[in-house]
Amino acid sequence: MENIKCKSLEITDDLLVKLNHFTRRKHNADEVYIFSVILCDNEIDRDNERFSIKALEDLSELFVGRTGIFDHNAKGSNQTARIFDCCVEVDKTRKTSFGQEYTYLKALAYMVKTNANTDLIKEIDAGIKKEVSVSCSVAKQNCSICGSNLKRTKCSHRVGKSYNGEICHVILDQPTDAYEWSFVAVPSQRAAGVTKSHRGELTTGAQKIKAAEKGISLTAAEVREIAAKLDELDEMSIWARNYRDDLQKDIVRLAFIACPYIPKELVEATAKSLSIPQLKQLRNAYANGSSNNVSPQILGNAEQIEDNESFKL
């Protein structure tokens, strides 16, 4: 594979047919400039992240029709090119740092030849403008060591640290949308040189809402992103409520063992007013008091106590 990230192509009739699916009228070879670009790959990048091969395959469909801009600045005046074809390719002569065959997402993009973009076309041909970066959203960010989806839960592994000779990194999977791709000066992915954006550079729908002082406009992709986040928060809130209920039941049970003279209603009312960290502290305090004040015959051994946890008041 040539070490070229972005290069012009000979315009064939087949390419023009694909290109003209995105135009309002048919354009001929003299009117357009076509170039290929490597968007992203399966190598670990500077953010210690990589795309799964399945994610690359999904992105090959999502990126068709997406516009190319500069530095992820989503102004209409920054639109410079559009992807009209995309595919996943494998370089069987090359391995990634973790032993997979190097796999990358290759796109074909076009722009209409104008006086305004003459210099840009020359810079692409000269290799000045070649690095690009993609902006997309994914449903899963999996720990490479244990497989935990870090968008929903945290694990004990630290990104960038070695575990039994394997560097912990994040595997980006299940892409939900592709926003745009940009010409950039500093890419994240080293090997392809054509990269995704650094984390946090893309203005998401949620960030727009937080920063808004007046009314805002959201794209369909941003609405879907916010809806997915709300669904995730709803699910997390259910787990949090269930966990809180279990803590309160624990406290009532342990309070009866440790301090049977305290009215149950008072314990329940107190527990309802506390935060989850405070509930955990109170439960531990009652648990310590219970073990000191109640005979071993009542408490049983530690294994029996653990078994009784499934039968809470």
Question: What does the block give as tokens for 300?
Answer: 């049983």
Alpha-helical segments (H) within the chain: 13-19, 53-62, 118-125, 205-211, 220-258, 264-272, 276-293, 296-299, 302-308
72-76, 79-83, 193-197, 290-294: which has the highest mean pLDDT?
A: 79-83
- Report the amino acid identity of residue 205: G
pTM metric for this prediction: 0.57
Q: In the predicted model, is pLDDT for residue 25 greater than 70?
A: yes
Q: In the predicted model, is pLDDT for residue 97 greater than 70?
A: yes
DSSP symbols for 181-198: EEE-SS-S-TTTS-EEPP
What local confidence, expressed as pLDDT, does residue 52 receive?
96
The HSE-up count of residue 287 (CA atoms within 13 Å, CB side) is 15
CA distances from 26 to 11, 16, 23, 63, 211 (A): 14, 8, 7, 22, 42
- Rounded Cα distance between 65 and 22, Å, is 7
Average pLDDT value over all residues in the chain? 79
Mean pLDDT of 89-115: 93
pLDDT band, residue 283 (cuts 50/70/90): confident
Q: In the predicted model, is pLDDT for residue 31 greater than 80?
A: yes
Cβ–Cβ under 8 Å, residues 69 and 93: no
Mean pLDDT of 208-228: 64
Q: For the segment 163-209, what is each residue's pLDDT rounded down to a tens digit?
A: 998 999 999 999 999 999 988 876 565 433 332 333 333 345 565 56
What local confidence, expressed as pLDDT, does residue 251 receive?
87
Question: What does the block give as tokens for 33?
Answer: 């400039």
Q: For the segment 119-147, what is each residue's pLDDT rounded down to a tens digit?
A: 998 988 888 888 888 888 999 999 999 99
pLDDT band, residue 296 (cuts 50/70/90): very low
Q: Phi/psi of residue 9, each to 5°? A: -125, 155
Q: In the predicted model, is pLDDT for residue 40 greater than 60?
A: yes
DSSP symbols for 62-100: HTTT-EEEETT---GGG--EEEEEEEEEEEEEEE-TTSP
- Domain boundaries of the chain, sorted by first residue: 6-199, 229-308
pLDDT band, residue 72 (cuts 50/70/90): confident
DSSP character for 260?
T
